[in-house]
């Protein structure tokens, strides 16, 4: 008879289920012109996720993002920000950064002035905000351009300023609505790398709207594929493959397999949207 001693089971601390950053429940959006932009959309966004909303034109990606930002309200259903302080209107206060497709910089203000704006609106003068603004500019590689004006910058640099401005208040949630769609491929890849680095360094939660299978598969650990007529969630794909998303990943078999999987889901979504027409 052998005397078998078993190693004690490792003690696994009970994981506290973290509250979602955003919780959408059965959200429908009917615009006054009769367009049903979203129907029955439910989505729980967990802390630290990088989610892409991917889908054909008109499937309601931007509408969903605006509702998540508190910039639009659902016609029915609910939207909650369970982890954020909310103001008297029930909207999350200062906890969400938004980056649009256009950098929307103030042309008359310097790069410093543009990034300072959200802090200025909170009552912080230049001197008080200086460290935060300069740290924000350094995080996007633009510390040397603080005194430049937007007209002196390339498209990619303007977008970097826009990202620094969105992050300067240290929001918990960053919403990005096709931020790189108008940029050339090389600049876009560089900015994809930068966004991933910022996501890793800050632990921020990101929701990223895109039309691009390749961009979504490179960036996200979860892809919500939407379909149109009416806009709704078609598939919710986990892309958490543990791989480091770097230059090697772009040419890896794993990335190719992921883009195939995402492409198939998108094709299905497009076909079902077309049938519904
Ligand atoms: N303010 C509005 N009033 C009326 N209809 C609207 C409004 N905003 C969006 N829509 C419509 O709602 C639907 C969803 O639009 P939305 O912009 O959310 O889609 P999207 O998936 O972001 O599209 P795209 O990829 O082309 O930007 C579309 O049919 C659009 O025309």
CA 96 from centroid of its chain's CA atoms: 10
Residues 89 and 111 in one domain: no
Domain count, the chain: 2
Structure-model confidence comparison of residues 273 and 258, the more confident one:
258
CB 236 within 8 A of CB 261: no
- Domain-embedded: residue 251: yes
Residues 228 and 243 in one domain: yes
Q: Is the pLDDT of residue 15 over 90?
A: no
Residue 140, Cβ neighbours under 10 Å: how many?
23
| Nearest protein CA to atom 24 of ligand 1, as residue | 57
Per-residue pLDDT of 87-106, as tens digits, reads 887 787 778 999 998 999 99
Residues 198 and 154 in one domain: no
In the numeric block, which tokens belong to residue 47? 């802390």
Residues 192 and 261 in one domain: yes
**How far, in Å, is the centroid of ligand 1 from the Cα of 38?**
9
Nearest atom, ligand 1, residue 231 CA: 14
User: Ligand 1 pocket: which of 28, 34, 37 to mutate (most atoms <8 Å of CB)?
Assistant: 37
The CB-side HSE value for 27 (13 A sphere, CA atoms) comes to: 28
Distance CA 226, CA 228 (A): 7
Q: Is the pLDDT of residue 159 over 80?
A: yes
Domain limits for position 137 = 103-169
Sign of CA dihedral 160, 162, 165, 167: negative
| Nearest protein CA to atom 16 of ligand 1, as residue | 60
Q: Which residues pair with 30 in a beta bridge?
A: 36
Residues 147 and 203 in one domain: no
Helix axes 111-120 and 126-139, enclosed angle (nearest 10): 120
Q: Which residues line ligand 1 (CB under 6 A)?
A: 31, 33, 35, 37, 55, 57-63, 211, 231
Residues 199 and 241 in one domain: yes
pLDDT band at 5 (very low <50, low <70, confident <90, very high): very low
**How far, in Å, is the centroid of ligand 1 from the Cα of 19?**
30
Domain with 237 in it: what CATH number? 3.40.50.300
Closest CA to 220 of 186, 184, 252, 176: 176
Nearest atom, ligand 1, residue 38 CA: 14
First to last CA, the chain: 73
Residues 82 and 60 in one domain: yes
- Domain-embedded: residue 209: yes
CB 145 within 8 A of CB 111: yes
User: Is the ipTM reported for this complex over the cut 0.85?
Assistant: yes
pLDDT at 8: 44
């Amino acid at each position: 008879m052998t005397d078998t001693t078993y190693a004690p089971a490792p003690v696994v601390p009970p994981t506290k289920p973290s509250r979602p950053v955003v919780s959408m429940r059965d959200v429908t959006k009917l615009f006054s012109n009769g367009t049903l932009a979203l129907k029955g959309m439910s989505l729980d966004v967990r802390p630290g996720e990088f989610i892409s909303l991917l889908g054909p034109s008109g499937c309601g990606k931007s509408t969903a993002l605006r509702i998540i930002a508190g910039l639009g309200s659902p016609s029915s259903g609910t939207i909650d920000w369970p982890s954020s302080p909310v103001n008297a209107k029930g909207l999350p206060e200062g906890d969400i950064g938004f980056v649009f497709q256009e950098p929307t910089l103030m042309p008359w203000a310097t790069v410093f002035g543009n990034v300072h704006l959200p802090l200025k609106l909170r009552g912080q003068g230049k001197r008080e905000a200086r460290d935060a603004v300069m740290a924000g500019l350094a995080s996007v590689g633009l510390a040397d351009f603080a005194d430049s004006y937007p007209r002196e910058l390339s498209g990619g640099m303007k977008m970097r300023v826009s990202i620094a401005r969105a992050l300067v208040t240290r929001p918990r949630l960053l919403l990005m609505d096709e931020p790189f769609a108008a940029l050339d491929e090389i600049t876009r890849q560089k900015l994809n790398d930068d966004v991933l680095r910022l996501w890793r360094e800050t632990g921020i939660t990101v929701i990223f709207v895109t039309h691009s299978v390749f961009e979504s598969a490179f960036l996200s650990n979860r892809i919500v594929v939407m379909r149109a007529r009416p806009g709704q969630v078609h598939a919710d794909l986990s892309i958490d493959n543990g791989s480091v998303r770097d230059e090697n990943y772009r040419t890896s078999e794993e990335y190719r397999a992921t883009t195939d999987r995402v492409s198939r889901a998108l094709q299905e979504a497009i076909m079902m949207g077309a049938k519904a027409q």
